[in-house]
Amino acid sequence: MKKIIGIDLGTTNSLVCVWKDDKSTLIPNAFGEFLTPSIVSFDKDGTVYVGKTAKERLITHPDSTYECFKRGMGKKTMYGDYSPVELSSFVLRSLKEDAENFLGEPIDEAVISVPAYFDDKARKATKMAGQLAGLTVNRILNEPSAAALGYLRGVKECSEDEFEEKVILVFDFGGGTLDISLLETFSNVIEIISVSGNNMLGGLDFDKAIASYFMLKHDIRQEKISQSEYNSILKAAENVKKELTLNSKAKMMVRTPNINKDLEITSSELIKISANVLKKISAPIQEVLRQSEMSMDDITDVVLVGGTSRMPIVQHGISRILERDDIEVVSPDLLVGIGMGVYAGIKERNEKIKDLILTDVCPYSLGTSVYNHYGKRALSSFIIPRNTALPVSSTHIYTTVNDDQKAVVVDVFQGEEMYADQNIKMGEIQVDFPSPAPKGTPVFVSFTYDLNGILVVDIEVPYFGIEKNEVLIDNELNQTEEEIKARIEILNSFRLSSRSNAEDIQIMEWAERLFPLCSNRDRAELSRRLDFYQNDLQQEGDPIKRKKIREYIRNYLLALELMINHNNQEVSPFDSSWMEGEDKEIEKLFSDWDEDNNK
């Protein structure tokens, strides 16, 4: 059977996994790393960079580099000339190529995780992104559900018949979204009870809060600086956030041609800086408990996943909300991906896990609008309430409201608001009557919703013998199959940067970012070492030697960045303080080459 891959398509990072050798196996990218930054950058020659190299280009090429586009999925948001669906397709294409290189075979099927609180439009947009990337998306799975699979089968290594009866709260706090799920386990079943979350809350919001604090302290107005400079401040804020995960204080250093500022931030200050972000965590936790009709005492396990869960202030905040200390933080960056690898194995009907059952719930209510006798705005009538177990079919009976009514229009929405126009409209179906109907004529409306997010609407009017059945398809791109195929061809005309030289391209982008920050002397030194490096790339030389030269240049750039960030103090990349072992050997090769070229 052809392999199916599991993909965690994240706001800040993505990863791909497969069920292999009876376990969930993470697949490395061209850099040998599991996490691929969800960033896409376009070059003028038609090359598309995805991941680590694109992240470098956020500062050097801010006008053609895009991040955080997952937050725009299912919305009419554009990033330059591209939709969030199209940008996501490039990330998926890159992950697909990584999987094909790792497995040595073509891949055309995948399961993809999404935030539990993604609405129907965002889920369909994710499937569309897979289609544009050349993948058949077999299933969209909620991220906390994937995390539960990863926790039970990837970390705890429980077999299906070893699942204890547990009530597990999964707190999934990633770079761009917060998802919370409450689930029960027993026998070979993982049953989702309720979900809640916030699609606009994540680690990025801590970065922005720190960046705003830094600019406030230094009287820097965002509208007065370039996007490139703001991206440099955000990058420094992210570094501070990571440093405060390990230490009680950190120094924020921003170095651009126009900004040369420092600021020390402590953990206690971070709590005040992030107060508004932290306040938003409590509401979805309370909501998931209220919807499940469970109390905090019913929870047996609390599992934190997502990179933002590493932050001590987040862990402390959750401990206070839940009034408990036994909280597990398990492979937070990787757990959803590991779970998606398990689910890929389930979809393949692998003997080891084929009988494992994972149930899910509808994360939002589905309904239709009804006449409001006491006001002008139509009211919501919920046919499938949120957190209903899937698959589900439900029927409600409505009646016509006027004599001689000639038709009914059944609109379909998702959301929780009292007034229908405040919810998200998914579509509408009109049923025309062959003759005027009397007031009070019954109209039966049935919604059938499955695990793949397919909604079937049945409308029956017995008075006229009318039966109407439609599969509600909300095409986010508003395109026909022919238009989609044409768009795929256009997107395929962009070539992803080659895996074979990914590290070399990333090094050059890194050097391009540092170059404007160097003094004239430092620029000359940097140029000479880059010439030496590029000269070696043009030779058909020893691959082991090339690897050593690449590592030498990497260490040199790291020393150069440290020097820049420390205001050109006694941290010089031009002395031997940063050199160890093989770097000293390569420095001798560079010196000899430099001497020959300057005779």
Task: Note the pLDDT tens digit of each residue in 402-451.
Answer: 999 999 999 999 999 999 999 989 889 999 999 999 999 999 999 999 87
Residue given tokens 């680590």 in the structure block = 52
The whole-number pLDDT of residue 485 equals 79
What is the arithmetic mean of pLDDT over 216-224? 94
Plot region of 520 (φ>0 → left; ψ -120 to 50 → alpha; else → beta): alpha
The whole-number pLDDT of residue 199 equals 81
- Both tokens of 431, joined, read 């049923």
Q: With bands split at pLDDT 50, 70 and 90, how would you rate the model's confidence at 571?
A: very low
The whole-number pLDDT of residue 25 equals 95
Asked if residue 192 lies in contact with residue 183, where contact means CB atoms within 8 angstroms, the answer is yes
Q: What is the pLDDT of residues 72-104, one digit of tens each?
A: 998 889 999 899 999 999 999 999 999 999 999
Query: Does the pTM of the predicted model rise above 0.85?
Result: no
The whole-number pLDDT of residue 145 equals 85
Inform me whether the pLDDT recorded for 537 exceeds 80. Answer: no
The Cα–Cα gap between 52 and 572 comes to 26
Residue given tokens 């690897």 in the structure block = 547
Element (H, E) at 222: none
Inform me whether the pLDDT recorded for 559 exceeds 90. Answer: no
Could you tell me which residue, 585 or 416, shows the higher pLDDT? Answer: 416
What is the arithmetic mean of pLDDT over 107-135? 90
Inform me whether the pLDDT recorded for 41 exceeds 80. Answer: yes
- Both tokens of 21, joined, read 């050798």
- Contacts of residue 483, defined as CB under 8 A and 6 or more positions apart, other chains included, come to 477
The Cα–Cα gap between 126 and 88 comes to 8
Name the average pLDDT for the chain: 88
Backbone angles phi, psi at 176, to 5 degrees: -130, -10
The whole-number pLDDT of residue 478 equals 56
What is the arithmetic mean of pLDDT over 214-219? 95
Residue 359 burial by Cβ neighbours in a 10 Å radius (0-12, 13-18, 19+): middle
- Contacts of residue 493, defined as CB under 8 A and 6 or more positions apart, other chains included, come to 46
Q: At what angle do helices 84-103 and 120-132 cross, to 10 degrees?
A: 50
Beta bridge partners of 455: 449, 472
Percent of the chain with pLDDT over 90: 51
DSSP 334: T
The whole-number pLDDT of residue 334 equals 93
Q: With bands split at pLDDT 50, 70 and 90, how would you rate the model's confidence at 236?
A: very high
Q: With bands split at pLDDT 50, 70 and 90, how would you rate the model's confidence at 573?
A: low
DSSP string, 121-158: HHHHHHHHHHHHTT-EEEEEEEHHHHHHHIIIIIIS--
What is the arithmetic mean of pLDDT over 49-62? 93
Would you tell me how many other CB atoms lie within 10 Å of the CB of residue 557? Answer: 19
Asked if residue 168 lies in contact with residue 183, where contact means CB atoms within 8 angstroms, the answer is yes
The whole-number pLDDT of residue 570 equals 45
Of 171-180, 388-397, 570-579, minimum mean pLDDT range: 570-579
